A and B are shown apart, each in its own frame.
Chain A
Amino acid sequence: MKSERRRPVRSGLWLALAASVAIGTAGLDAVTEAAKAQVSRATEQDIEAANPAFQGLLRGQRTTIDTSKNREARGGPGGPPAAFPGGPGGPAVPNPSRDPRDFSGNWTGGGENGAPGAKIVEKRPGWVATTTLDGQRMLFVDLGVTPTGGHIYQNKNELVFVRSTELRARRIYFTDHHTPGAVPTYNGDSIAHWEGNTLVVDTIAIKGMIAKLDNDLEHGLHHLLMARPTLHVVERITKSADGETLTDVETWDDPASGKPPVVTTTVFHYAADAPAYDSEYEDGGDLFGPGYGTGFK
């Protein structure tokens, strides 16, 4: 029996989750209130000085655009809007490729399958703003360890993983050598090769703080790994025979930590490719600084 296709998790939940973990408190509601309390919005003087085009946004008003008006003006197709692929009335979701070396398509993870094997590596007492916003954001979304999944494109040169949470890409190149003198980046320098039908991804030169989340939201962030220049991550990714799942077994090894490597597993499920948009995460940064967009509501 064919398994039910999953729709990607909308990113709002993950934004709230990010806030929860960033502030290091338990309970989403309480965290959100705490987060709201430290959002500093633009002053009235700022707003007066701003262009009328976005004064409303600066005032924290959520702008809703009547797109039906635009469609009528364009003379485009009328009638009800399109339905999500795989959803009620929507187009069918194509079956996943059975090619064990073809990872292309849309994948979701998380829930009961999100990194169940994660172990505490380095429990830090607090969460200090020593990194930039990107560093903070990378905590949750980079290095492909997010359990939220995304879209994979694959060609002979590279495999690109576009995350569904904030539409940013991680690139993995099919080559046998790392970039000489690779400058540390949030995604690191990732190279890959095939061992049979297993894709082996080797990543070095990772910067910032990287987290492993488990499903235990009640206790917040437990699986935190501080990326040092010595951090080395090896992923072994295999596709199931029916093409429905990708299993990513990640080995996190930081010799400088003096601790044994950590092995975690993330399972991704082939899913309907729902349209993905950009803004929730972009404005999530307002949590940390001057309110500039819609931010938290």
Chain B
Amino acid sequence: MMRSMIKTTVACAALLAAAHPAWAEADLEGVWKIATPTPALLTDQGTLPPLTKAGLEIYNQNQAAIAKGDRRSWDPVAKCKPPGEPRTYTEMNWPFELFQSKDRIDFLFQWNRLDRAIPIMDKQIDDPDEPFYFGQSVAQWDGNVLKVEVENIKPNTFLDDAGLPHSDDLTIDETWRLRDPDTLVGTFHFVDPTIYSSPWDATLVFKRQPAGTRVLEDSCTDRTNSNDYATIDNSLVK
């Protein structure tokens, strides 16, 4: 009996070892998709995030524009700019593929083939002289949880499709973990004193897609026929 239990334990340990690389605390790899369409990001309490007066003014402008069917005047996504963080995870309810290595995590989105690459390091690199659509992120493992610090996010992005704004003060502390083998949970702790009166938290849940699911090639400019970007003065062409 004892021998059988030991064998079973060893076998289970071997299976677990094979399930993910030795250096990773959890195997997050796979194709994932948002479990519930999330056009508007709410707090974990199900409320509108605590916007300041300045933040609410921008948000209301965006909401009014949306009501009129206008995105192009305010939403960079309408011009095929990257949706940013964390909006890209919810865009079009499309899947993304997650890859991980010892030194790096990549979220490969279907949306316009975007990639969010995160180095696994203990602190930020003081490198960029400009902000980025996905911000500047570093990640570390804490047990089975991947912790990500994000800063330096382009202020012309929005946190969701509904036009939740942010300033260049925004920082996001994220965690990524498996709730079960087929459920990936991302938590987001937003701090932005200019736009939000207090820190707030939101959670996104993703479901693993069936084996063999492919993340397809999407071209935003083709999809939206945004040919205005492709106009070249042919007098410059030799």
- 1/0 per residue, CB under 8 A from B, across A116-143: the answer is 0000000000111101111110000000
- 1/0 per residue, CB under 8 A from B, across A186-197: the answer is 110000000000
| Bound CA–CA A126/B73 (angstroms) | 34
- 1/0 per residue, CB under 8 A from B, across A79-104: the answer is 11111110000010010000000001
**Which of B122, B167, B214, B237 is close to A24, meaning CB atoms less than 8 Å apart?**
B237
Name A54's closest neighbour in chain B (CB-CB): B156
* Contact of A132 with B99 in the complex, beta carbons under 8 Å: no
* Contact of A279 with B131 in the complex, beta carbons under 8 Å: yes
Question: Is residue B198 within 8 Å, beta carbon to beta carbon, of the partner chain?
Answer: no
Which of B134, B149, B229 gathers most chain A CB within 10 Å?
A: B229
* Contact of B117 with A275 in the complex, beta carbons under 8 Å: yes
Question: Is residue B155 within 8 Å, beta carbon to beta carbon, of the partner chain?
Answer: yes
| Bound CA–CA A131/B165 (angstroms) | 33
Question: Is residue B222 within 8 Å, beta carbon to beta carbon, of the partner chain?
Answer: yes
Name A10's closest neighbour in chain B (CB-CB): B127
Which of B4-12, B36-44, B74-82, B177-185 forms contacts with chain A? B74-82
Q: A49-B73, A169-B113, A289-B228 are in contact. Are A134 and B130 (CB under 8 A)?
A: no
| Bound CA–CA A63/B167 (angstroms) | 11
- 1/0 per residue, CB under 8 A from A, across B205-238: the answer is 0000000101101011110011111111110111
| Bound CA–CA A82/B230 (angstroms) | 39
Q: How far is the CB of B146 from chain A (nearest CB, A)?
A: 16
| Bound CA–CA A126/B169 (angstroms) | 46
| Bound CA–CA A92/B3 (angstroms) | 44
* Contact of A171 with B215 in the complex, beta carbons under 8 Å: yes
Question: Is residue B202 within 8 Å, beta carbon to beta carbon, of the partner chain?
Answer: no
Name B225's closest neighbour in chain A (CB-CB): A132
Q: At the interface, is chain B mostly helix, strand, loop or mixed?
A: loop
| Chain B residues whose C-beta falls within 8 Å of the C-beta of A173 in the assembled complex | 214
* Contact of B124 with A67 in the complex, beta carbons under 8 Å: yes
Which of A160-168, A225-233, A262-270 forms contacts with chain B? A160-168
* Contact of A65 with B131 in the complex, beta carbons under 8 Å: yes
- How many chain B residues touch the partner (CB < 8 A)? 77
| Chain A residues whose C-beta falls within 8 Å of the C-beta of B171 in the assembled complex | 70, 73-74
**Which of A134, A155, A273, A288 is close to B232, meaning CB atoms less than 8 Å apart?**
A288
Name B81's closest neighbour in chain A (CB-CB): A282
* Contact of B125 with A54 in the complex, beta carbons under 8 Å: no
Interface residues on A, range: 35 or more
**Which of A131, A133, A168, A186 is close to B226, meaning CB atoms less than 8 Å apart?**
A133
Q: A65-B168, A279-B154 are in contact. Are A128 and B229 (CB under 8 A)?
A: no
Q: How far is the CB of A132 from chain B (nearest CB, A)?
A: 4
| Chain B residues whose C-beta falls within 8 Å of the C-beta of A67 in the assembled complex | 124, 126, 136, 151-152
Question: Is residue B121 within 8 Å, beta carbon to beta carbon, of the partner chain?
Answer: yes
* Contact of A126 with B76 in the complex, beta carbons under 8 Å: no
* Contact of A57 with B108 in the complex, beta carbons under 8 Å: no
Question: Is residue B201 within 8 Å, beta carbon to beta carbon, of the partner chain?
Answer: no
| Chain A residues whose C-beta falls within 8 Å of the C-beta of B203 in the assembled complex | none
- 1/0 per residue, CB under 8 A from B, across A248-290: the answer is 0000000000000000000000000101111100100100111
Question: Is residue B62 within 8 Å, beta carbon to beta carbon, of the partner chain?
Answer: yes
* Contact of A57 with B133 in the complex, beta carbons under 8 Å: no
Name B134's closest neighbour in chain A (CB-CB): A278
Chain A residues with CB under 8 Å of chain B are 22-25, 34, 38, 46, 49-54, 57, 62-65, 67, 69-71, 73-74, 76-77, 79-85, 91, 94, 104-105, 126-129, 131-136, 151, 153, 155, 157, 160, 162, 167-169, 171, 173, 185-187, 273, 275-279, 282, 285, 288-290, 292-294
A-B contact list, 28 entries, CB within 8 Å:
A23-B236, A24-B237, A24-B238, A50-B73, A51-B165, A57-B156, A65-B131, A67-B124, A67-B126, A67-B136, A73-B191, A74-B149, A74-B151, A105-B101, A129-B231, A129-B232, A133-B80, A133-B230, A160-B97, A162-B115, A168-B115, A187-B217, A273-B104, A273-B119, A278-B114, A278-B134, A279-B130, A288-B229
Chain B residues with CB under 8 Å of chain A are 29, 54, 58, 61-62, 73-74, 76, 79-82, 97, 99, 101-104, 106, 108, 113-117, 119, 121-134, 136, 138, 149, 151-152, 154-156, 165-169, 171, 173, 191, 212, 214-215, 217, 219-222, 225-234, 236-238
Sort A-B residue pairs by CB-CB distance and give the 7 closest, nearest first: A81-B126, A54-B156, A289-B229, A167-B115, A153-B99, A133-B229, A185-B217
